[in-house]
Amino acid sequence: MLEKNWQYYPSLPEDLKQADSYIPLLIRQLLYNRNLKSIQEMEEFLSISLKDADFDPVGDWFFSHNPFLFKDMQKAVELIIEKIKNQEKILVYGDYDVDGVTATVLVLETLKILGASVDIYLPDRVSEGYGLNKEAIDKISEDGTKLIITVDNGIRNFREVDYAKSLGLDIIVTDHHVLPENEEEIPKCLVIDSADPNSGYPFSLLAGVGVAFKLVSALIYKSKLDRENRKQILEKNLDLVALGTIADLVPLVGENRLLVEKGLKVLNKNKRQGLNALIKIISRSDKDLKAWNVAWQLAPRLNAASRIGHANSAFSLLSSEDIFELKELASELNKRNIERQEITKNIMAQVEASIDPENLEPVIIGTASEEEFWNEGVIGLVAGKITDKYHRPSLIISRIVEEAKYDEKEKTMKAVKTSFKGSGRSIEGFNLIEAVEKGAEFLDKYGGHPMACGFSIKDEENYKKFVEVIKQETRKIDPKNLIPKLKIDALISFSEISNDLVLEIEKLAPFGQNNWQPKLASQKTLLEDVSYVGSDGQHVKLRFSQDKFSVPAIFFNGQALCENLEIGKEYDLVFYLDINEYNGKREVQLKIIDIKKSQ
């Protein structure tokens, strides 16, 4: 495991320390680290309040920006209402990840309530890939659809949009991905995209399901439903909004934080039977689900639907009300997730077999051998794990059989022509998509952003040329950026640790992208006890003391870092603060992130 470079955020400026506010100094420091530079900004963040005075569909309960600020929202709502009145068929075209599936369910259920003739389409991750495709549009058109509403996709499908329009279909694109740089490649239809700098909407970081929620909010506002029904419909669907927003790893700041905070409350009321069935399967100690439960327990099981099969099973789990079917679906998704974990583990092992930890290259490229054809649905997960472990940009590339022949000698089918599909992840300081664009001439398709990418390559020759381009680009990385950094929010002493401090920190929740769970540090703590727990002893229970204050700690998967610790020696710690509840007793504990011998 690579040793991390510990870095502390700059100290809170003196004027913010001296300012008159109810916010404790440590919490001010944590908020300052999150780029909140005034007491007013900090107090607004903690109050979780946001409202537009000119938009009030359900009274004071409604809390987010006016959806009609999107420049095309009014026309989109009018078009949908027209289709509903004429009973013309509408189709919601989603995506296969959690964000896309939750957005699909959200729009479908709302349109049904409003009396629409509506259906959905989720593409297959492997055979169709992301976004609109002409074959699917042909089927949709033949089925009598008159309007396609995309959710979480479509902004880079200008050709497919033109094709659908040529068949007489209307299109509304709702998305949250960055628009093409070339304006000619922006779909020529109604577009509602929070990432569009010209959209008119004040918050650009919504997830796909967040944009879908704005659309249904506008529809509900224009409906003839009374205020109480509007409130119930919008509130009912906030669990989906929270689920998709957390799963898609968009920043949990601004309106996203509001949506997730409200959505978690709805999720914990256990109103959606499919999620109830899935929640019963996962092992958890928390009384209420938190953002991390969604990110690490619910979302992976829902994503396993499309990684090891089709997303339709995740859609059915979220939309069905058949209790017996839901139990089977939840069990099936759990099994798929276990299978996904095993496949991921096996590919990881194959990739790591080619890595020399003592002589790491600036980029790690793992490609399936000619005998191996890795599951395309998990290569992005493997890339993420490799990058996290080795702190290098990584590309994980699977082979796809395009043509095979029977080998009489070996009595087996052998690939004679293969193509490639890859997924990449990056580190801070290296723009991966820019590097990929340098080799675009060797790619069939590609897309992504500075920290992640996906691409396809048609043959071996282009694969080799592309890999060489990536290697050349990564040789330009500053060696300092290849040392993993651990950003620490604040240095505290054990005397400051209490139940009240944990509760103060919890006021910053829900935690996620750009609103991380605070990482704290303490120096020169005395190790009093250490023991190993878990099926393989992979987790470590510890106890440290400092100036007569003694605090228990847990280090999940910390066996390797702890095996040389000595009782009676002093160590510096980085940790999260947590409350451990056991037999009715509540006790503060440290969740260790990293540990070093004190100097």
> Where does CATH 3.90.1640.30 sit in the chain?
67-253
- Top-confidence residue, 580 or 11: 11
Indicate the pLDDT class of residue 415, thresholds 50, 70 and 90. Answer: low
Query: Which burial class, exposed, middle or buried, applies to 216 when counting CB atoms under 10 A from its CB (0-12, 13-18, 19+)?
Result: buried
> Where does CATH 2.40.50.460 sit in the chain?
489-597
Look up residue 37 and give its two tokens. 């530079």
**Secondary structure of 99-143 in HEC code, one letter for each residue:** HHHHHHHHHHHHHHHCCCCEEEECCCCCCCCCCCCHHHHHHHHHC
Give the number of C-alpha atoms closer than 13 A to the C-alpha of residue 588, restricted to the C-beta side.
Answer: 18
Largest CA distance in the chain: 84
| Topology annotation, domain 67-253 | inorganic pyrophosphatase (n-terminal core) (3.90.1640)
User: Percent of the chain having pLDDT more than 70?
Assistant: 95
Q: Is the pLDDT at 147 greater than 60, yes or no?
A: yes
Query: Which burial class, exposed, middle or buried, applies to 3 when counting CB atoms under 10 A from its CB (0-12, 13-18, 19+)?
Result: exposed
Residue 355 CA to residue 417 CA, distance in Å, equals: 27
Q: Is the pLDDT at 223 greater than 60, yes or no?
A: yes
> Where does CATH 3.10.310.30 sit in the chain?
354-482
Lowest-confidence range among 75-79, 364-368, 582-586?
A: 582-586
Residue with tokens 């998967």: 557
Residue 133 CA to residue 467 CA, distance in Å, equals: 28
pLDDT value for 3 = 85
Q: Decide: 271 and 318 in contact? Cβ < 8 Å.
A: no
Lowest-confidence range among 234-243, 255-264, 401-410, 555-564?
A: 401-410
CATH class of the structural domain 489-597: mainly beta
For 340-366, b where at least 16 C-beta lie within 10 A, e where not — what string? beebbeebbebbbeebeeeeeebbbbb
- Top-confidence residue, 235 or 160: 160
pLDDT value for 414 = 67
pLDDT value for 127 = 87
pLDDT value for 270 = 72
> Pairing relation of β-strands 490-491 and 539-546?
unpaired
pLDDT value for 61 = 44
Residue 194 CA to residue 199 CA, distance in Å, equals: 7
How distant, in Å, are the alpha carbons of 193, 266, 300, 304 from that of 256? Answer: 15, 15, 20, 24
Residue 462 CA to residue 469 CA, distance in Å, equals: 11
Q: How many CB atoms lie within 10 A of CB 112?
A: 12
DSSP 264-315: HHHHTTT--HHHHHHHHHS----SS--HHHIIIIIHHHHHHHHHTS-THHHH
**Amino acid code (one letter) for 194:** S
Q: Is the pLDDT at 53 greater than 50, yes or no?
A: no
Digit-coded pLDDT (tens) for 324-372: 999 999 999 999 999 999 999 999 999 999 999 889 999 999 999 888 8
Q: Is the pLDDT at 226 greater than 80, yes or no?
A: yes
What number is the average pLDDT over the span 216-235? 90
Residue 395 CA to residue 453 CA, distance in Å, equals: 9
Beta-carbon contacts of 471 under 8 Å, excluding residues fewer than 6 positions away, are 361, 362, 363, 365
Residue 402 CA to residue 413 CA, distance in Å, equals: 12
pLDDT value for 278 = 92
pLDDT value for 1 = 62
Indicate the pLDDT class of residue 49, thresholds 50, 70 and 90. Answer: low
Q: Is the pLDDT at 52 greater than 90, yes or no?
A: no
Task: Name which of 201, 3, 213, 17 is nearest 106 in CA terms.
Answer: 213
* Segment holding 173, helix H or strand E: strand 170-175
Taking domain 354-482, whether its CATH number is 3.10.310.30 is answered by yes
Q: What is the DSSP letter of 157?
A: -
Q: Decide: 339 and 358 in contact? Cβ < 8 Å.
A: no
> Pairing relation of β-strands 412-425 and 445-449?
unpaired
Determine the 3-state secondary structure of 435 from DSSP.
Answer: helix
Digit-coded pLDDT (tens) for 524-574: 999 999 999 988 889 999 999 999 999 999 999 999 889 899 999 999 999
Task: Name which of 405, 383, 402 is nearest 393 in CA terms.
Answer: 383
Digit-coded pLDDT (tens) for 172-187: 999 999 888 889 999 9
Instruction: Please state whether the predicted TM-score (pTM) of the whole model is above 0.85.
Output: yes
Q: Decide: 66 and 52 in contact? Cβ < 8 Å.
A: yes
Digit-coded pLDDT (tens) for 497-529: 999 999 999 999 999 989 999 999 999 999 999
pLDDT value for 285 = 54
What number is the average pLDDT over the span 301-318? 94
Indicate the pLDDT class of residue 126, thresholds 50, 70 and 90. Answer: confident
Task: Name which of 172, 165, 150, 151 is nearest 76 in CA terms.
Answer: 172
Q: What is the DSSP letter of 23?
A: S
Indicate the pLDDT class of residue 472, thresholds 50, 70 and 90. Answer: very high
Digit-coded pLDDT (tens) for 192-201: 999 999 999 9
pLDDT value for 21 = 95
Number of residues written out for the chain: 599
DSSP 509-571: PSPBTTBPPPPEEEEEEEEEEEEEESTTS-EEEEEEEETTEEEEEEETT-HHHHTT--TT-EE
Indicate the pLDDT class of residue 60, thresholds 50, 70 and 90. Answer: very low
Digit-coded pLDDT (tens) for 268-287: 987 789 999 999 888 665 57
